[in-house]
Amino acid sequence: MAEAVGRMLDQPGLWWQAVGMFVEHFADWPAAWAGSIGDDVAERRLVHAVGSAAANVGANALFAASRALEESLRQDPASHSAPGLAPLRDALRAAFARAWGAAHLAVMKNAAAGRVAS
């Protein structure tokens, strides 16, 4: 988290804003991603977007999982049905659930405590 806050000019309020935006913007991401499977360009775009957002908020495992899948899709544009992608997709699905769930919980606790990102 300290590294992510550092990228936000060492201003925790900016990091909290980024986390809040991550939670809000990516709430429906799993369904959109599932719908994109079979369209390598669309899937790569969605995987790249969640990976970039993960990097911004310091969700390193999600970033790594997204990069691994994105690279595999990029190497073989017709690979959407390749059996080797299933473990990468499973890893991304699990990493997203952990990162988004933790971010959502943190945002809710922060709001409940009366702290608002500035």
- The most distant pair of C-alpha atoms in the chain lies apart, rounded to whole Å, by 49
Concatenated DSSP letters of 65-101: HHHHHHHHHHH-TT-TT-TTHHHHHHHHHHHHHHHHH
CA–CA dist 70, 114 (Å, integer): 38
Q: Is the pLDDT of residue 99 over 50?
A: yes
Tell me: the pLDDT tens digits for 46-84? 999 999 999 999 999 999 999 999 999 888 766 666 778
Q: Please name the amino acid found at residue 70.
A: E
Q: Return the domain boundaries, the chain.
A: 2-112
Question: DSSP assignment, residue 57?
Answer: H
Q: Is the pLDDT of residue 116 over 60?
A: no
Tell me: the pLDDT tens digits for 12-47? 678 788 899 999 999 999 999 999 998 888 999 999
